[in-house]
Amino acid sequence: MSQSVLASATGVAAQAGRRRTFAVISHPDAGKSTMTEALALHARVIGQAGAVHGKGDRKGVVSDWMAMEQQRGISVTSAALQFSYRDAVINLLDTPGHADFSEDTYRVLTAVDSAVMLLDAAKGLEPQTLKLFEVCRQRSIPVITFINKWDRPGLDPLALMDEIEQRIGLRPTPLTWPVGPAGQFHGVIDRRTGTFIRMQRSPGGADLAIEEEMSADEAKTLFGTDWDTSVEELDLLALTGADHDQAGFLAATTTPVLFGAAVANLGVRQLLDVLLEMAPPPAARPTDTGAEQPVDANFSGFVFKIQANMNRAHRDQVAFVRINSGRFERGMIVTHGGSGRPFTTKYAQQMFGQDRDTIDEAFPGDVVGLVNATALAIGDTLYVGKAVRYPQLPSFPPEHFAVVRTTDTSAFKRFRRGIEQLDAEGVVQVLRSDQRGDQSPVLAAVGPMQFEVATFRLESEFGVKVHVDHLPYETTARTDAAGREILRGEAGVEVMTRVRDDTLLALFPNKWRMRSIAGRHPELNLDA
C-alpha cells in the first residue's frame, strides 16, 4: 500500500472513531422528540428546546418538521440530526414511536451503531418499546437506558431495574442514581466518581439545567432521608454487582442506566457524555455474503430512507444514505448496486431535521442526504471499486388495506405522482387491482395511521383530496400466476400486484381463511 493511500485510510479510520451514530427509541409519549431536542440543546446547536411549550405548540421541535407532526403532536417520520459535541460528530436519528410506523423505525435501526432506550418513569417498559428492543437484540445493537420524567411521580427505581432485567434480559448497570423519589428529583449520584450533582430546572425550562456538584455532607444536610435512601439503594446495587461492564454493554448483554427529565434538561448532559465515552463508533459491517466491509475500505453506503417535499419551495426528494466505509466526497461518481450503473452525487447535504447544508465530505457513521436522487430506492447500496451489497432491509407484511380515489379528474396526474412518491418513500405499499383499475390504487399498511399520513400528504403536498374505502383483509401471502388462477374461484379473496416490484400478493380476510384454502389446494403456492 502506498504512503498516500495508507495516510488516507488512517484518516478515514480516525474520522470514523470520532462518530457516534445512534437512534432514540421509545413507546409513544415517553419523551423521545423532547430528548432529541434536549441533546441538541446541550450540544448548543439550538438556542432553546422547542418541546417545553407542550404538544399544542411544537413548532420549535426540529425533528418534528412535518406539518402533520406539528398539528398532531406526534412523530410520524424519522429524522436525522448531525451536530458536533466536544471533539465528536453526533449523528442522531429520531424515530416515530407509534407502532403504525414500525417499518420506518426498523429501517432506521439498520443505520445506527447504538440506541438510547427511553422509559417513562411512571410506566416502565411499554409494548412498543419492547418490540423495538427486540430489533436491537436481533441486530446486537448496544442499548443505553434513560429513565425519563423523573421530575414527575413514578415507579421505584429499584423496581424499574428489576423490570428491565426480568422482561428483556439485559442486566441494568446504573451509571447515575437519583436522589429523591420520582416527582421529587434533587439530582443524581454519579456512580463512577461518587460525586453528587444537584440539578435544577432553568427558569422556564427551555435552557440548560442548572447543575452544582456538592459533597455528601452538604447533600445529606439538604435532602435528609432522600439522601439516605439513595445511599442505601446504591449499597444494594454494589452488593448485586450492578456495575458497568463495557464488554457486556458492547455485546448487548448489559445496559448502562441514567436518570433524568428531558423536558427540563435534567440528566441530559450526562447522557451525551456517556454516548461519547462508551457508545461504539462505526465498525466493519457485514455484507450480504457474510464478509465484513472495514470502515477504511473504499466508499460504500446504503439508502435507508427516502423523503420528499422537505423543502416545500422546491418539492425535492432526498435519499438518506448511511456511510459504512471510506470517505465520501460531494460530486464523486459511485456505482448504484441495483443497476450497476454510475451515479453522480452532485447534490449532497448534511441533515438537521428539515434544515440542510451542502457538505463536501463525510465519513463512516455519517448520514448524507442526496437530493433529487430519484433513481435510488430504499435498501439500495452505493459503492466505489469492488462491488458491495448490504443485507436486505426488513419489510413488514401489511395488515390493513384501503382503496384510495380522487373525484377531481383535473387532479389525476398530481394524484398519481403523489401515490408514486408515497410508495417510493415506503409510507405505504401501493397495490394494483385488476378489478379496480389504475385510477383506484389499493394502499397497504402495517397500521391504519399510515392511511391518515398518506391522505394528509396527498392534500397538503400535492393539492389532492381523496376518499378512502377500507377493505376487509388482514392477511397477505406472496403467490404466482398459477396461484392467481386458483384463487379466482375463491370468494372473499383477491390477488393484486405490488407496484414496487410486480410481486403478486394474495389478500385474505384472516389467516384461518388462508389456511383453509391452502388445505384444499395443496398445489397452491403461498409464501407468507
Ordered domains of the chain (ranges, CATH): 22-75+97-278 (3.40.50.300), 285-383 (2.40.30.10), 400-520 (3.30.70.3280)
Retrieve residue 454's grid coordinates: 398518506
Distance of CA 508 to the CA centre of its chain: 31
pLDDT at res. 128: 80
Distance CA 32, CA 43 (A): 17
Q: Contact, 173 vs 244, CB < 8 A? A: yes
Distance CA 327, CA 365 (A): 11
The answer to whether 97 is annotated as binding is yes
pLDDT at res. 165: 96
pLDDT at res. 1: 38
- The strand pair at 475-479 and 503-508 is best described as antiparallel
pLDDT at res. 315: 63
pLDDT at res. 23: 93
The answer to whether 245 is annotated as binding is no
pLDDT at res. 353: 60
pTM assigned to the model: 0.83
**Nearest 5°: CA angle at 182, between 176 and 188?**
25
pLDDT at res. 278: 97
Q: Contact, 18 vs 88, CB < 8 A? A: yes
For residue 84, what are the β-bridge partners?
A: 89
Distance CA 449, CA 264 (A): 30
pLDDT at res. 100: 56
The answer to whether 96 is annotated as binding is yes
Distance CA 276, CA 40 (A): 14
Distance of CA 26 to the CA centre of its chain: 10
pLDDT at res. 311: 59
Residue ranges of the chain with pLDDT lower than 50? Answer: 1-7, 49-76
Q: Is 248 exposed, middle or buried (0-12, 13-18, 19+ CB in 10 A)?
A: middle
Going by C-beta distance under 8 Å and a sequence separation of 6 or more, which residues neighbour residue 182? 121, 122, 149, 150, 151, 152, 153, 154, 155, 157
pLDDT at res. 471: 96
pLDDT at res. 425: 85
